[in-house]
Amino acid sequence: MLYPSVVFRMKARAALKGHWQTALLVALIVNLPTLLMQGFSAYTGNDLITRLQAVMVAASRDGLMTQDLLLKEFDAILASTSFWTVRGLEVLAWLITPCLTLGMYKWLMDRLRGQEDPVGTVLCRMKLFLKAIGLQLLIILKILLWMLPGIAAATALMVPVYQSGTLQGRLAALQNSYNMTLPVTLLIVVPGAIAALRYAMSEFIMADEPGEKILSCIRRSKQLMKDKKKDLFFLLFSFLLWYLLEMLIASMLNGVLSTVFQMLAGLALSVYAGCSVAAFYLFLSSGEKIVPEPENEELN
């Protein structure tokens, strides 16, 4: 049985009606560590990927950058104080965000239950700091294990490129790798997506029942998502158009206006999608077989 995504979105809108300001503040608190890291990185110009790309492009463009000069550029990046400050902020964001996310899920589930919670609810799961990190790590590990066959296949295709002693052999190996790009990509992405959907309810379970152990949250998520992964996939897929619209509008704006719009729209979409998935979780955990329609007074 395929559960209609529209019902969960309707429940989310009904729960958030009149509470959008609080919801946006909650989402802002959750994303604040990441936003600070990104803002500092952009302000100092010490974004790792951007700087390394600039170095490599310069080296390939003029062909004049020797290995010694290239190493000096890397050393200059690594010696920068602001570079390590950004790395520290990244670690801080990675450590704090999981427990803040649990707090946001708790707030969203309480809204769906009709409770009036303050903004401070987002901090109510800070005591689960280590458990939240452990849950994130275990989920990532399990997803990577599902993707391992595809990663192994991709590695096996690239080995002949480096082992071949002739240019003709390398070109033939590269052509073979290129021909297998789509199947190998699917072999990585599809199992990874299935695993991500399989464990998607783990955080909601921990947010809803903080006494649950990490492995128990994982097992219960697997049980809840049995034969329900396609329903969650279509629910998440239904937000794709909103994200594409956000990107389109942001591309039409300039400077600070584009940045502010992206931030606000991103926060609003994260709340809307999160609340819809929270409604999906509450439905699954209730054990009901038929999705109840939102009450008329909820929609008014």
pTM higher than 0.85 for the full model? no
Q: Are 232 and 277 in contact (CB under 8 A)?
A: yes
Predicted pLDDT of residue 290: 64
**Closest alpha carbon to 134 in 247, 216, 66:** 216
Residue 47 has pLDDT above 90, yes or no: no
Cα 35 to Cα 20: distance, rounded to the nearest angstrom: 20
**Closest alpha carbon to 201 in 181, 183, 223:** 223
Predicted pLDDT of residue 246: 92
pLDDT (tens digit, 9 = 90+) per residue, 109-166?
999 999 988 999 999 999 999 999 999 999 999 999 999 999 998 888 777 766 666 7
Q: Is the dihedral of CA 293, 298, 299, 300 positive or negative?
A: positive
Least confident window among 33-42, 67-76, 114-123, 237-246 = 67-76
Residue 296 has pLDDT above 70, yes or no: no
Average pLDDT for residues 88-104, to the nearest whole number?
A: 90
pLDDT (tens digit, 9 = 90+) per residue, 225-265?
999 999 999 999 999 999 999 999 988 988 788 888 998 99
Residue 72 or residue 197, greater confidence? 197
Predicted pLDDT of residue 196: 96
Cα 47 to Cα 40: distance, rounded to the nearest angstrom: 9
Q: Are 156 and 201 in contact (CB under 8 A)?
A: no
HSE of 19, CA atoms in CB hemisphere, 13 A: 24
pLDDT band at 69, cuts 50/70/90?
low
Residue 33 has pLDDT above 80, yes or no: yes
pLDDT band at 297, cuts 50/70/90?
very low
Average pLDDT for residues 219-224, to the nearest whole number?
A: 96
Over the chain, what is the mean pLDDT? 84
Residue 52 has pLDDT above 90, yes or no: no
